[in-house]
Amino acid sequence: MSRRFIRVRPPLRQRLRPGRLPFRPRRRRGGKLRLLIGAAIALFAIVSFFGSRQYNPVTGEKQFVALAPHQEIALGLQAAPQMIRQHGGLDPGDQRQRLVDAVGMRLVERSAAARTEWQYEFHLLADTQTINAFALPGGQCFITAALFDRLETEGQLAGVLGHEIGHVVARHGAQKMAKSKLTQGLTGAVLVATDSAESTLLTQMIAQMVNMKYGRDDELQSDELGVRFMADAGYDPRAMLAVMRILAEASSGSRPPEFFSTHPNPDNRLARIERAIGEVFPGGVPAGLEP
Ligand SMILES: [Zn+2]
């Protein structure tokens, strides 16, 4: 066998090293091309961000969202098992889980949330250490056993779940992703322009979604939506104030609620909830609502 058949070829990158190319690389032209591609990617990121404007009939806002509703639902479903694993699985108590389902579905079915296309599911997590509740885009809502066990009434559970349904309906996750997609598009453009682009966009987006933290305005809006949904479903919205009190009391313990790190706690949060209740019931909260 002649030697040239067994010769191992050097890796592609080495073979394409400028020194090995049969012609002189035209570096200035390549740099210009990269700049053009970078500019095109930046333009695409900006155009797709501002082209993604959609009207939200529940909040009455025009918002920038990166995903179609079916994609949003699919991403939430995809991330849900990871969230469940992170919190020690689902709570084994069938009756407790049924109560979470019943309260969640009552809120959805009797409020404006019923007219949305989200696929709501409510999960009671086995975690007895972390006091928290959260929602993924598309309708997956979670509450930990640690928070569930501190609640005293069905109305308080409705307060927690109503707040999370608020995040879903207001599409806070998708809006956050649209913003980070714009940022990443622009970062990607810079990387291409400097010749080292690598696309891990979807991985990054999912990772971000799993550790999602919303801004202060998103939290206040979810409180207000939660109050609306509670009132529509026949729950006394003042139970939302009790939830805040329970969380504040728990925060003086050895392990403060995770809820306060994922949910910033501005001083005026209670006042804003009271104002929202006043807007829903201008003549005062009627008697006979579920406390
Ligand atoms: Zn929240």
CA of 163 to the centre of ligand 1 (A): 6
Provide the pLDDT for residue 265. Answer: 64
Q: What is the CA radius of gyration of the chain?
A: 25
- Across 234-255, average pLDDT: 87
Helix or strand holding residue 125 (H, E): strand 121-125
Q: Give dist(CA 10, CA 4) in Å, integer.
A: 13
CA of 141 to the centre of ligand 1 (A): 11
Angle between helices 216-232 and 172-193 (to 10 degrees): 150
CA of 283 to the centre of ligand 1 (A): 28
| Cβ atoms 46, 178 nearer than 8 A | no
Query: Per residue in 182-214, pLDDT tens?
Result: 666 666 665 565 544 444 454 455 445 545 567
CA of 224 to the centre of ligand 1 (A): 11
- Across 23-40, average pLDDT: 68
Burial class of residue 17 (count of CB atoms within 10 Å of its CB; 0-12, 13-18, 19+)? exposed
Query: φ and ψ at 283, to 5 degrees?
Result: -95, 15
pTM for this predicted structure = 0.77
- Across 17-44, average pLDDT: 65
CA of 277 to the centre of ligand 1 (A): 18
Tell me the three state secondary structure of residue 133: strand
| Cβ atoms 96, 123 nearer than 8 A | no
CA of 119 to the centre of ligand 1 (A): 18
Provide the pLDDT for residue 2. Answer: 46
Task: Return the C-alpha torsion angle 109, 114, 119, 125, nearest 10.
Answer: -40
Helix or strand holding residue 169 (H, E): helix 154-169
CA of 70 to the centre of ligand 1 (A): 22
Provide the pLDDT for residue 197. Answer: 40
Which residues have beta carbons under 5 A from ligand 1 (an ion)?
219, 222, 263
> How does DSSP classify residue 135?
E
Provide the pLDDT for residue 267. Answer: 59
Least trusted range by pLDDT, from 4-8, 56-60, 137-141: 4-8
CA of 219 to the centre of ligand 1 (A): 5
Query: Per residue in 139-187, pLDDT tens?
Result: 999 999 999 999 999 999 999 999 999 999 999 988 887 777 666 666 6
CA of 164 to the centre of ligand 1 (A): 6
| Cβ atoms 143, 121 nearer than 8 A | no
The identity of residue 216, as a single letter, is: R
- Where b means 16+ CB within 10 Å and e means fewer, 130-169 reads bbbbbbbbbbbbbbbbbbbebbeebbbbbbbbbbbbbbbb
- Across 278-291, average pLDDT: 97
Identify the band that residue 10 occupies on the pLDDT scale cut at 50, 70 and 90.
low
CA of 76 to the centre of ligand 1 (A): 16
Provide the pLDDT for residue 190. Answer: 57
Q: Give dist(CA 179, CA 91) in Å, integer.
A: 34
CA of 53 to the centre of ligand 1 (A): 23
CA of 166 to the centre of ligand 1 (A): 8
Query: Per residue in 257-275, pLDDT tens?
Result: 767 666 656 557 899 999 9
Q: How far is CA 56 from the centre of its chain?
A: 16
CA of 123 to the centre of ligand 1 (A): 16
CA of 203 to the centre of ligand 1 (A): 23
Query: φ and ψ at 125, to 5 degrees?
Result: -90, 145
Better-scored residue on pLDDT, 65 or 49: 65
Query: Per residue in 95-129, pLDDT tens?
Result: 999 999 999 999 999 999 999 999 999 999 999 99
CA of 132 to the centre of ligand 1 (A): 10
CA of 44 to the centre of ligand 1 (A): 31
Mean pLDDT computed over every residue of the chain: 81
The DSSP secondary structure of 34-98, one letter per residue, reads HHHHHHHHHHHHHHHHHTTEEEETTTTEEEE-SS-HHHHHHHHHHHHHHHHHHTTSB-S-HHHHH
Q: Which of 99, 95, 263 is nearest to 166 (CA)?
A: 263
% pLDDT > 90, the chain: 48
